[in-house]
Amino acid sequence: MHKLSIKQLSEGLRAKQFSSRELTQFYLERISRYEPSLNSLITTTAERALAQADAADAAIAAGNAGPLTGVPLIQKDIFCTRGVRTSCASKMLDRFIAPYDATIVEKLDAAGMPMLGKANMDEFAMGSSNETSWYGAVKNPWDLERVPGGSSGGSVAAVAAGLAPVATATDTGGSIRQPAALTNLTGIKPTYGRVSRYGMIAFASSLDQAGVVARSAEDAAVVLQAMSGFDPRDSTSVDRPVEDYVATLDRPIKGLRIGLPKEYFADGLAPSSRQRIEQAIEVFKTLGATFTEVSLPNSPLSVPTYYVVAPAEASSNLSRFDGVRYGHRSESARTLEEIYKRSRGEGFGAEVQRRIMIGTYVLSHGYYDAYYLQAQKVRRLIFDDFKRAFESCDLLLGPTATDVAFKLGTNVDDPVAMYLNDIYTIAANLAGIPAMSLSCGFVDGLPVGMQLMGNFFDEARMLNAAHQYQQATDFHRQLPKGFE
């Protein structure tokens, strides 16, 4: 059952081949069987899932089923879920029971999707390997000695191992796309403002965007459809109709103009990964797409820009964790200042502390112009690069990551080396454009991802191209050994 697409699961449910309770039970059993080797979940919510499954079965029996009714999912533990622990993989929120639901939780609950559990992640979504989680590292099902990528490492490990058909994820600098690439999944970060951020624990508010990781573009499209749309509770939500991502999947892509940013194919990209991407380009050509080389001259500056902008916003957002209103409070604190300092010192892990300090530093008097203001100006240059590229192209194509998944522990003491993992993904967040990753083959049994980037609100076109590619290839259907 875990090999079926969401469409097939939905058809099976409507045809009464299996009930949502049976399907949910099936995934819960896979979770108890495989989870000990992966550590992909922080919390399993079996009771909640089965109650939702029963409600879905009733809706199906009554003829009120939508395309997702009864299909289970996993929520990244960054989304507030009322009555369920929402930890953001931090000791700070280890005992935090969210008092309200995130908008996307409300929407996907309303769509009838039983929530199997809450996915592990890098602490406060800060990381590219899922090794900063207070609940321990997540393992990549393709090789248990390797990282699944991050920050949405639990979401991808769970879906890649067939513990759920789909999972939500978030992407501030690549946290959907890089893990999807490392685990053979399809992951999409929509345009900034397309999906509500209400109830999604903030990391860097001008960059954060929610999305989905799935086993195909078709599966991603139907779930993204249900998540997207205007939300008055998010002040940066965009009031604009959502396109029909599913209806446009089958369009031929003949004549699609795809740009290849030359900076994305320069030194730094593993030759074996480059070769897989070049093969994918040939597949797109047989489908009728045309290719031109483009330049994003400021893209080498995207990592330095991000490591000013994101920590600056994070240091401000994370100031809310003060040990007073919710979250961890130090037991040894005797004064108010000690409550602040010790609760934050004990509650935040090293990577979160590093980013808070960088953010505090670049925003402090005397450094603001040199770092923060300069980074905002370079952000404009990066944005303008994309604007120029999309004058002559419909989509851009390049690598998602520099190489296949690396071994656990490789970069834990070298933050800069870790940060460079996101060299191809960060620019899309800085510009706000939609981007996705999908599998384009394997190197020594490990998945290689390629990235598609689109113009603002061009999710449908990206998903269409990805789906057409997946109709012509079967990389995305491969499952890791031991999890078949």
Between 167 and 176, CB nearer to another protein: 176
Minimum CB distance to another protein, residue 421 (Å): 13
Please answer whether residues 39 and 252 qualify as being in contact, where contact means their C-beta atoms are separated by less than 8 angstroms.
no
Selecting among 19, 20, 87, 175, the annotated active-site residue is 175
Please answer whether residues 401 and 149 qualify as being in contact, where contact means their C-beta atoms are separated by less than 8 angstroms.
yes
Q: Is 175 a catalytic residue?
A: yes
Between 35 and 101, CB nearer to another protein: 101
Between 302 and 439, CB nearer to another protein: 302
Say how far apart CA 222 and CA 249 lie, in whole Å. 10
H or E element that contains 155: helix 153-160
Q: Is 431 left (phi over 0), alpha (psi -120 to 50) or beta?
A: alpha
Between 248 and 374, CB nearer to another protein: 374
Minimum CB distance to another protein, residue 320 (Å): 12
SS (H, E, C) 434-480: CEEEEEEEEECCEEEEEEEEECCCCHHHHHHHHHHHHHHCCHHHCCC
Please answer whether residues 204 and 310 qualify as being in contact, where contact means their C-beta atoms are separated by less than 8 angstroms.
yes
Between 17 and 235, CB nearer to another protein: 235
Dihedral sign computed on CA atoms, order 298, 303, 308, 312: positive
Structure tokens at 48: 């909640």
CB-CB neighbours of 23 under 10 Å:
25
**Which are the contacts of 32, defined by CB distance < 8 A and separation ≥ 6?**
none
**Which are the contacts of 66, defined by CB distance < 8 A and separation ≥ 6?**
111, 112
Rg (CA), the chain: 21
Q: Residue 327 has what DSSP assignment?
A: S
Selecting among 10, 20, 40, 76, the annotated active-site residue is 76
Q: Is 273 a catalytic residue?
A: no
Minimum CB distance to another protein, residue 330 (Å): 8
**Where do we find the tokens 């039970």?**
25
Please answer whether residues 119 and 42 qualify as being in contact, where contact means their C-beta atoms are separated by less than 8 angstroms.
yes
Strand partners, 439: 449
* Residue 89 vs residues 85, 151, 162, 204: alpha-carbon distances, Å: 10, 10, 22, 17
* Residue 30 vs residues 48, 164, 199: alpha-carbon distances, Å: 17, 9, 29
Selecting among 10, 128, 133, 151, the annotated active-site residue is 151
Between 162 and 193, CB nearer to another protein: 193
Between 66 and 304, CB nearer to another protein: 304
Minimum CB distance to another protein, residue 386 (Å): 10
Query: One-letter amino acid identity for 337?
Result: E
DSSP string for residues in 71-83 = --EEEETTB-BTT
Q: Is 341 a catalytic residue?
A: no
* Residue 167 vs residues 73, 105, 220, 358, 376: alpha-carbon distances, Å: 5, 12, 9, 31, 32
Between 276 and 342, CB nearer to another protein: 342
| Calculated CA dihedral for residues 144, 78, 360, 409, nearest 10 degrees | 0
Minimum CB distance to another protein, residue 126 (Å): 13
Say how far apart CA 329 and CA 323 lie, in whole Å. 4
Strands 446-454 and 395-399: antiparallel
Between 336 and 472, CB nearer to another protein: 336
Minimum CB distance to another protein, residue 300 (Å): 8
Minimum CB distance to another protein, residue 96 (Å): 6
Minimum CB distance to another protein, residue 354 (Å): 6
Minimum CB distance to another protein, residue 438 (Å): 23
Q: What are the residue numbers of the active site?
A: 76, 151, 175
